[in-house]
Chains A and B, each alone.
Chain A
């Protein structure tokens, strides 16, 4: 059991170090782009949508070298849609979660395809499932569903003929 405890301690140390590093990175974003960070929590950082492309470029080409856009998705919060980015830095071994909150009336955001090739399909998927339009995306088409569809199925208010919800007991 001793080894297990020491391992837990090691993990806790690592977690603390990661948090410190993440805080330093967020601080560097704040220094570079005053007013860009709307909210900061231990798990993620919320960025204003106007600053997204600049912050992303800074993250990629700046000292922290977030060379990989690991994951991109969205969460429908009914009044708003959160677009969630997971950036990863192989150099620092840090995963940074960045969120951008879009109001339902204006689901438009800058595309990150000029920076990461991975953004291409991931943004198309978010467009297909949530209806978020990515500006400057070179090929914003539906990826999963037929092109003829008009709805975005992962929205909470999605309705469709032939859709059978699971009966609730």
Chain B
């Protein structure tokens, strides 16, 4: 395979002069591959889940970024997109879902409710003020109520950048 300078992650790859193969650090290579196939959890909480569905559908086509394989079981997933309001009753369940995901795992907080409680911050007795209150670390915050699909795609690209730049967790 001819090495194209324009391919993603090409900065990690060293060309061997005259050779038909390349050298790379396994960490870099794995991170590069990991970023390109993020399998999200089919996990809809509220309104944002509908936009997540729209992002997955043909018009916005999340598959272009390797994240189109929505899995129903947390044990087969890489990224949890927390899409919607988290309520007191749901708090424990979300934590358990996160714990069930295998390492390396990433979390995208989609929408204002998942970031801080959003529109339900004031006067609400049952809304948890953001996903971080449940004890789940968040990698990327995507603002909006709900965020547009382009915005979610932007969040996924940012997560990919984070993984590839080695700031992401490596297992």
Touch A–B, Cβ below 8 Å? yes
Chain A residues with CB under 8 Å of chain B are 144-146, 153, 158, 160, 163-167
Do the beta carbons of A164 and B89 come within 8 Å of each other? Answer: no
B126 within 8 A of A: yes
User: B5 an interface residue at 8 Å Cβ cutoff?
Assistant: no
- The reply to whether the CB of B121 lies closer than 8 angstroms to some CB of chain A is yes
B122 A146 Cβ-Cβ under 8 A: no
Chain B, Cβ-Cβ closest to A164: B122
Closest 9 CB pairs of A and B: A166-B122, A153-B125, A166-B123, A160-B125, A163-B125, A164-B122, A146-B89, A165-B123, A146-B88
What is the total number of residues of chain B having a CB less than 8 Å from a CB of chain A? 8
| Contact of B122 with A165 in the complex, beta carbons under 8 Å | yes
**Contact sample, A vs B, 19 pairs, CB 8 Å cutoff:** A145-B88, A145-B126, A146-B88, A146-B89, A153-B125, A153-B126, A158-B125, A160-B125, A163-B123, A163-B125, A164-B121, A164-B122, A164-B123, A164-B124, A165-B122, A165-B123, A166-B122, A166-B123, A167-B122
For the complex, what is the distance from the CA of A160 to the CA of B126, rounded to whole Å?
Answer: 10
Q: Select the residue from B89, B121, B125 with max chain A CB neighbours within 10 A.
A: B125
Query: Chain B 123-138 against A: per-residue CB contact (8 Å), 1 yes, 0 no?
Result: 1111000000000000
Chain B nearest CB, measured from A133 CB (Å): 21
Shortest Cβ distance from residue B96 to the other chain A in the assembled complex, whole angstroms: 16
